[in-house]
Chain A
Amino acid sequence: MAVTAAARLRLRLGVAVQILLVLALVAGTNALVARNPVPGLRGDWTEDSRHTLHPDTAALLEGVKDPVELVLFHTPLAGRHPDREAFDAEVFVKTDLLLREAGYRSRRITTETIHPATNPDRAQAALARTGLEDSAMGGNFLLVHARGRNIQIGFSQLGSLDPATGQIRYHGEDVLYKAVAEVTRREVRMVTFLEGHGELDPTEADDGLALATLLNREAYRIGRVDLARGQTIPPETSVLVVARPLQELGREAIAALDDYHRRGGNLLLLIGARTPAANLRHYLETQFKLALRDEHEMLHDPKGTLPRYPEWIVAERNFNADHPITRPLARAEQKLTVVLPRVRPLTLTAPGVCTSLLASNPGSWPDRYRPGYYARQLEEDEKVPGYELQGFPMAVAVDPRLPSQRLSGDQAGRVVLFCSGEFASSQFVNTFPANGALLVNAVHWLSGKDAGERIAPVAIRQVRLAMTDPDRRLLFWAVVVLPAAVMLLLGVLVFWLRRG
């Protein structure tokens, strides 16, 4: 039967309408399902439920009131060491899956994975949207953004290498939990910098700006207080930073610090060799049994026997692995170097009152350099016992929750003291990433942000075959030869039968 032109046109229009309707149905169905994740439609089929979120994480994510953006930046093959590349690749895969689980929990959570190298425009757009600086482009990190706040989490914070097994221990869920909780908090934690005594200025590029930038990345608000001008420490201050004052702190200032501390305030003290510290020394000695020593010249190297930077003290391995501030450095998958210039030596005069966080590494220098630490022959009573083997403490922490460290009273806050001021300056923080990590960890601990590991990593069952040569032969025959041979025989048989 011939089809007329008009009928053909009607048929074509009908088919076109049908196709459009089906396309709309497909798009609508997918949009509906994507925007309204139905509980129960997502299942973790793995035996160890490795992708299932901890109930606390699930509750937190399901309960977020503000829009939260989780953006994962990953630049593979960035010319790094192959081990580092493999580490980053594994952390990326795990974090990508973690974000998908997180995105499934709430419509308010938006997740994105961006490869800046292959899609720079998208990366730029994400940076512009979240207010992150362009210098972040090349890095591998997870950005948690909400309420105009950012927390930037490096891959080395998401996973660590277990030296015992050589496997990556992934603690991304714990880190994500804390970051989301932090950016969605009603109040922002505030870090207040003391000023008026020549301290590091958090607004000056070559002074304390790098530290302030790091703290901003962790969603801290920066404040300043000048006690000499009669200002009082803002009550919302989580941590008060005394960063390398170049003038003596007066008795009133010390009294204000002491009062703040006794009422639960947390102190971060960066006191190096350049700080005149007569009043501080007395305060630290009476409150924390810490002897701040004056003989910093012992660390100079007028004979030039130390390599390159005579006034720099390096800590590479002597991190306290039991303390939350230094534990991440001690367990990092690569060796981290903290460099502290112009150090003022400390002595802990009463054991147990302070916890040493890191110590110098005299043992890490070649023998010929060791004498270079001493510009003059030390008197016997000046020598620190065991110094040649253990180094001396360069940072200490005081936690009044420990009975032995409750000298200032039950309500007192935490204290961290670094015996170098310049190590927190932009020059050192930008050059040595571990310096910045150490400082940020200290602020986290002081502000109570890092309350230990809340979400433990899922114990993943490792399935590895230990094959002998006969096992290998058996496997080869079973998986390579046998199926193909059976099929070949079957084919020959069928064709032989069909020929007949």
Chain B
Amino acid sequence: MRNVLTLVVREMGAYFRSPIGYSVPILFWVLAGLRFYLDLEWTQGDVEAALAQLMGGVHFWLLTFLIVPALTMRLLAEERRSGTLEMLLTAPVEDWEVVAGKFLGAWLFYAFLWVPLPLYLAAVIFLGGSPDLGAVAANFLGVLLVGALFLAVGLFCSSLTSNQIIAALMCAVGLLVVSFLPEVARLFPRILWIQIAGDQLSFFHHFDEFRSGVVDGRPVVYILTLIGLALFLTARSLEARKWR
């Protein structure tokens, strides 16, 4: 566990020693803040709608699809390109510790992107609004879970190549595949259980519930197991280097 923590700190340090650690939050905060501000304007002060857009609107997904590859492309690909991955893997750490450290580091940085959220809520409360904090908490939990899933997929893609650009492209394609996997169910329109399974596989479907303030154990288990699967595949991908 100590190794994991050390790797997490190393990862966070790496983010904040590089321009990406500043440019990504600045870009994200300007766009998210602007969207939140404009949504409050357009909806005549409907705080609930503005928060739902902030954490689940079209721009949220666009930003997530852009930012996750940017955050994950260098995680293992860069280590592999620069040769530091060999050092890391020959150090007294397990493969899974490397994967967990990288993943948690990226996830903490992703969570850091949401640091202004309390500021948004404080501003709204200061101006006389009273946002439903329970619903916001549920929505935020969904944001963190979906972010974690995307990052795990990105980390796996990063483990497959030494080229960051290819890693980012693979990540984007991987996210699209994960997002639209349930569409496969359309091939079997007359088989009810496949249709329902397709709905259950769609995290857009589940995310709607988080967004509306409902936390269901099923999507939580679904997302956590997918994260586990992606991390497991990443660990196996690293291990494969040893016997290739």
Contact = CB atoms under 8 A, between A and B. Distances in A.
Contact of A97 (B199, B209, B221): B209
A44 B137 CA distance: 11
Interface in A431-489: 461, 463-467, 471-472, 474-476, 478-484, 487-488
A45 B135 contact: yes
B190 A125 contact: yes
B1 to A, nearest CB: 22
B17 interface: yes
Contact of A480 (B17, B34, B190, B208): B34
B120 A19 contact: no
A128 B29 CA distance: 50
Chain A: interface size category: 35 or more
Given A41-B217, A479-B119, 17 more contacts: A43-B214, A45-B134, A45-B214, A46-B212, A47-B135, A50-B213, A51-B214, A113-B199, A121-B186, A122-B186, A124-B189, A461-B130, A464-B45, A465-B47, A466-B128, A467-B127, A491-B26
A110 interface: yes
Nearest to B213: A46
A465 B240 CA distance: 56
Given A97-B209, A472-B41, A122 B119 contact: no
Interface string B172-183: 000000000000
B123 A112 contact: no
B44 interface: yes
B225 interface: yes
Interface string A88-113: 00000100110011001000001011
Interface stretch (A32-40, A265-273, A417-425): A32-40
A136 to B, nearest CB: 16
B30 to A, nearest CB: 5
B26 A487 contact: yes
B51 to A, nearest CB: 9
B228 interface: yes
Contacts of A467: 40, 45, 127
A465 B134 contact: no
A119 B209 CA distance: 22
Contact of A478 (B123, B189, B216, B236): B123
A15 interface: yes
Nearest to A25: B225
A494 interface: yes
Interface of B: 16-17, 19, 21-23, 25-26, 29-30, 33-34, 36-37, 40-41, 44-48, 115-116, 119-120, 123-124, 126-135, 137-138, 186, 189-190, 192, 195-196, 199-200, 208-209, 212-218, 221-222, 225-226, 228-229, 232-233, 236, 239-240, 243
A463 B47 contact: yes
Contacts of A34: 200, 218
B133 A479 contact: no
Given A15-B239, A26-B229, A478-B119, A45 B29 contact: no
CB-CB nearest 10 A-B residue pairs: A41-B217, A465-B45, A491-B22, A121-B189, A46-B213, A45-B134, A480-B33, A479-B33, A483-B116, A45-B138
A7 interface: yes
Contacts of A279: none
A19 B233 contact: yes
A48 interface: yes
A46 B134 contact: yes
A51 B216 contact: no
Given A29-B225, A479-B33, A487 B123 contact: no
Interface string A112-145: 1100000101101100110000000000000000
- The listed residue with most B CB atoms (<10 A of its CB), out of A96, A112, A467, A480, is A480
7 contacts: A15-B236, A30-B221, A42-B216, A46-B134, A93-B208, A481-B33, A494-B16
A121 B236 CA distance: 40
A397 B134 CA distance: 47
Contacts of B115: 483
A33 B217 contact: yes
A480 B37 contact: yes
A348 B2 CA distance: 88
A324 B23 CA distance: 61
A3 B243 CA distance: 6
A44 B214 contact: yes
A368 interface: no
A22 interface: yes
A122 B135 contact: no
A45 B216 contact: no
Interface of chain A, main secondary structure: helix
Contacts of B37: 475-476, 479-480
A464 B119 contact: no
A36 B133 CA distance: 30
A22 B234 CA distance: 13
Nearest to B201: A30
A30 B132 contact: no
A23 interface: yes
B33 A112 contact: no
A112 B196 contact: yes
A18 interface: yes
A488 B217 contact: no
A25 B225 CA distance: 9
A43 B215 contact: yes
A350 interface: no
A59 interface: no
Contacts of B29: 483-484, 487
Contacts of A122: 186, 189, 195
B40 A119 contact: no
Contacts of B232: 18-19, 22
Contacts of B218: 30, 33-34, 37, 41-42
Contacts of A48: 132
A498 interface: yes
A121 B189 CA distance: 6
Nearest to A490: B22
B208 A45 contact: no
Contacts of B17: 494, 498
Nearest to A36: B218
Nearest to B23: A491
A401 interface: no
Nearest to B189: A121
Contact of A11 (B138, B221, B229, B243): B243
